[in-house]
Homo-oligomer: A and B are copies of this chain.
Amino acid sequence: MNVLIVHAHPEPQSFTAALRDQAIATLQAQGHEVQVSDLYAMNWNPVATAADFTARENPDYLVYALEQRLGVKSQSIAADIQQELDKLLWADLLILNFPIFWFSAPAMLKGWIDRVLVSGVCYGGKRFYDQGGLAGKKALVTVTLGGREHMFGERAIHGPLEDMLRPILRGTLAYVGFDVLPPFVAWHVPYISAEARGEFLCSYQQRLEGLADDQPLVFPKLEQFDEALYPL
């Protein structure tokens, strides 16, 4: 497999970075090709603006998704976006590797999503969910957080973590067609021992080694809806 790891953490020595390195080592040992986009190290620009297009369909009024659709055809998308898009299209497996900030991705990573998942390639018209432009690829979300595991779940104070991650798991990754694997979660990371961190790294290694057998999460399929997207 070709694997793209998109990593976003403001501390280079973080445990999230250790998870990234564990993934690189484990996947390479299995013979996979791995590329890493380390967004902080790259000084990635997360802000979607008109400057993302060297030529514009409508220079007077920016509809971002429309300019993406046209820009990707005419190769007038900013070079930093095109490079990431090329990596994304190359990958069979995408790993988003990040610390949870406000029950979602850091702005740095959100801006990778905003800018790189371009309309016309990753989705567009009726090409979403199982019909999305990236169908056939797999995605894994690997997160660290401060909370404890018992704070998440049906009766727990924050509800299920998958519900908090819904805009990413369903609204982004499943939307563009990925088979989305259950997230890998390292709990309570700022407060745990080096030994407990080691156990997370070990179970992450095992998880990655068995990834081929993982069952993806279940999301809507377009065939369950009519032409106007009303449920059948």
Question: Which residues of A are at the interface with B, using a C-beta cutoff of 8 A?
Answer: 10-11, 13-14, 40, 46-50, 61-66, 101-108, 110-111, 113-114, 117, 129, 146, 148, 150-151, 155-159, 163-168, 170-172, 175, 190, 220, 224-225, 228-231
Beta-carbon contact of A106 and B102 below 8 Å:
no
CA A168 – CA B164 in complex, angstroms?
9
A87 to chain B, nearest CB (A): 19
CA–CA, A106 and B48, complex, Å: 8
Contact yes or no, A46 B46, CB < 8 A: yes
Q: Are B108 and A47 in contact (CB under 8 A)?
A: yes
- For the complex formed, measure the closest distance between the CB of A69 and the CB atoms of chain B, giving whole angstroms: 12
Q: Given that A102-B113, A103-B172 are contacting pairs, would A10 and B163 also be in contact in the complex, using a CB cutoff of 8 Å?
A: no
Return A7 CB to nearest CB of chain B, in Å. 14
23 contacts between A and B (CB under 8 A): A11-B50, A11-B64, A40-B49, A46-B47, A46-B107, A47-B107, A48-B106, A101-B113, A102-B117, A102-B175, A103-B167, A103-B171, A104-B104, A104-B171, A107-B110, A110-B110, A150-B230, A157-B225, A159-B170, A163-B163, A164-B170, A164-B171, A167-B167
Tell whether A114 pairs with B103 under 8 Å between CB atoms, given A150-B230, A155-B231, A231-B156. Answer: no
Could you list 20 further interchain pairs (A-B, Cβ under 8 angstroms) beyond the known A48-B108, A104-B171, A107-B113? A10-B50, A10-B64, A11-B50, A13-B61, A46-B108, A66-B190, A102-B110, A102-B114, A102-B167, A103-B167, A106-B114, A107-B108, A110-B110, A111-B111, A157-B224, A157-B225, A158-B171, A163-B163, A164-B167, A167-B167
* A113 CB → nearest B CB, Å: 5
